[in-house]
Amino acid sequence: FVMPSFSNMYSTGTGLVVGDPDLRPQKGMHYELGWKKDHDDHRWRAALFNYKIKDNMSFSKSGDKYYAVNEDLKNTGIEIGAEILCNNGWTYNYGLAYGNPKSKAQSEKVGTKDYWDRAFGRWQLDGGVSYTASKLTTSLSASYLADRVLTPTTKHSVKTKPYLLTSLNANYKADKRHEFNLSIENLLDRKDNVNHTTSAYYSAPINYMLSYKYKF
């Protein structure tokens, strides 16, 4: 159960978002049946899931504005994954998820659909590797979402290309007070639309952040 925010209800559209004072709270149930097993250096995980959300809060673009809307959302699928812990400081993880997400718009102001339409993506593949040695910890991760669609509020969904999100993080703890961190996002410098409606919201180009933390 999630209440709509005041901005989603009462925004006047002076920015990008036009609110809807009649926006309804979203409510639903999520069911999951899982299995896990730890064997030697492997940690196995698997789960079946199902959820259905009534009046899920989303946004629909019309012209140059985004309108807060309600939609029904449901999904059923399976996810599996494993983590491998090595004695030499290396750790690996990978996972695969398949689902069939669908939505049905319920907005009187923007438009409605009387049928369940494809949403988001069906296949997601995640992977990563990390290495720890003394004071240094590094990690590399990637997430790939395929069989994607863009889902307009009042029109049928259309296929769009997969996205691949990558990141690299390095952390060095010099001592108990001093800590340095380097984060690099979008290592492959891809231009991926990470939105799932007719609007385009592209991932930022490759970017870096170097930080320093001092504990008193």
Instruction: Write phi, then psi, for 85 (nearest 5 degrees).
Output: -105, 120
d(CA 151, CA 145) in angstroms, rounded, equals: 15
The answer, yes or no, to whether residue 6 has pLDDT greater than 80, is yes
**Tokens at 25, concatenated:** 């709270």
The rounded distance, in Å, linking the Cα atoms of 216 and 66 is: 45
Task: Give the DSSP per-residue string, 67-127.
Answer: EEEEEEEEEEEEEEEEEEE-TTSEEEEEEEEEE--EEEEEETTTEE-SS-EE-SEEEEEEE
What is the per-residue pLDDT for 107? 67
Indicate the pLDDT class of residue 50, thresholds 50, 70 and 90.
very high
Question: Does the structure show a pLDDT above 90 at 102?
Answer: yes
Exposed, middle or buried by CB within 10 Å (0-12, 13-18, 19+), for 133?
exposed
Mean pLDDT over residues 10-33, rounded?
88
Whole-number Å distance between alpha carbons of 141 and 19: 36
Give the tens place of pLDDT for each residue, 146-184.
999 988 777 888 999 999 999 999 999 999 899 999 999
Contact 41, 13 (CB under 8 A): no
* pTM listed for this prediction: 0.85
DSSP string, 46-74: EEEEEEEEEEEEEEEEETTEEEEEEEEEE
